[in-house]
Amino acid sequence: MVNAPLRPTTPRIPPLAPEDQDAQARELLGGVDGDAVASNIFATLVRHPGLFRRWLPFGGKLLAGRLSPRNRELAILRTGWLCRSEYEWGQHVLLARRAAIVDEEIARVRQGPDAGGWTELETALLRAADELHDGACIGDDTWSVLAAHLDERQLIEVPMLIGHYHLVAFTLNSLGVRREPGVPGFDG
């Protein structure tokens, strides 16, 4: 395994300031949920309007997909942790809390599927995140557990969700997107 490079300590591509936004950027950002807590990711990615225009609906669909909010957020948190994406982790800590995931469980996500205290499905979702991260495929044993609990659409959604949040983590880490004030990091 290659040693992970250090993360940038400042943005490599800064968020587009409101005064620098043209009509297209304002229109694209107008389609974002007015949640100012996640403004840096959107104001950075809108610098590539063509990608932003296509990416935003896909990400939105996954956030409103077939998996329950709890299951979705557990998988995303595990992915953010594995990718060492502090921005992704912090944003999804906030979303996890809204999905009634308590801080003790959020902390336990770091330990992974073998930490204990998870349901059979939750264990399989965390393991799926680990297997996709490490080997780019959900193994047969994990898949069998997922298939016992999820319908066909949800099964398709699991690797799509985890893969999407790898893409997001890779981008956030590489661009140096900073957390907004009040968004927790790995230490909180």
How does DSSP assign 116-183, residue by residue? S---HHHHHHHHHHHHHHHHSS--HHHHHHHHHHS-HHHHHHHHHHHHHHHHHHHHHHHHTPPPPTT-
Residue 94 has pLDDT above 60, yes or no: yes
Residue 37 has pLDDT above 80, yes or no: no
Euclidean distance between CA atoms 39 and 152, whole angstroms: 34
Record the pTM: 0.94
- pLDDT for 144-183, tens place per residue? 999 999 999 999 999 999 999 999 999 999 999 999 999 9
**What is the DSSP code string of 61-118?**
HHHTSSS-HHHHHHHHHHHHHHTT-HHHHHHHHHHHHHTT--HHHHHHHTT-GGGS--
Domain ranges of the chain: 22-188
- pLDDT for 106-155, tens place per residue? 999 999 999 999 999 999 999 999 999 999 999 999 999 999 999 999 99
Residue 69 near residue 99 (C-beta atoms within 8 A): yes
**CATH superfamily assigned to domain 22-188:** AhpD-like (1.20.1290.10)
